[in-house]
Amino acid sequence: MMNLIYIIPKKEQLYYRKHLVEDIKTMEYNHGIVLFPEEKWDSWYEKWIGNNNPNFYYAYIFDKDIQSYVGEIAYRKEEDSNMVTLSVIIEYSYRNKGYGKEALKGLINIAFKNGYKEVYDIIDKDNINSQKMFSNFGFKIVGYDEMNNVIFKITKEEFIKKYGKIK
């Protein structure tokens, strides 16, 4: 079993997020990097962490065994659709080692503990590995967005049935 913890960073610790989202190999699933210059950190931090908005959650994934960050987890409640959308990014060098599945389970636990009854993710139509992981995890395909990306959903009841009580 992995020894992961989720660390909500302080604003001055956003250097890891910058490293993660600006890394070409890590972000190739996203069709390119996301620029995250320091001048954007204040507004980003306020939206995701600083204002304690329950509709936003963000944390680094830290592996205690190797004493290193391996990625990030996040969710946000979409205002227009009321969907709670998940995000898990695993740094390229840590992929295919089980971090994605373990972090996804941790993120879903956090969302359900925070009162949400169902969560979603939208997976790029070309990202077959992530689609397989979500299907194997217990998510169901509930539709497609305007770009034909796959919309997955899992309810709290389905999660508990497969993985046991919320931790």
Write down all domains in the chain, each with its CATH number in brackets: 4-163 (3.40.630.30)
- State the chain's mean pLDDT as an integer: 94
Would you state the pLDDT for residue 137? Answer: 93
Residue 26 has pLDDT above 80, yes or no: yes
Per the CB < 8 A criterion, the answer to whether 7 and 110 are in contact is: no
Distance CA 100, CA 133 (A): 9
The confidence band for 31, taking pLDDT boundaries of 50, 70 and 90, is confident
Positive or negative torsion for Cα 6, 83, 151, 149? negative
What pTM does this model have? Answer: 0.93
Average pLDDT over residues 82-97: 94
The percentage of residues in the chain with a pLDDT greater than 90, rounded to a whole number, is 85
Task: Specify the pLDDT at position 42.
Answer: 96
Model pLDDT, residue 7:
97
Residue 18 φ/ψ, nearest 5 degrees: -60, -50
Q: What is the pLDDT of residue 15?
A: 97
* pLDDT at 68 exceeding the cut of 90: yes
Given this model, what pLDDT does residue 132 score? 92
Return the closest-CA partner of residue 57 out of 102, 19, 121, 6. Answer: 6
Q: What is the largest CA-CA distance in the chain?
A: 45
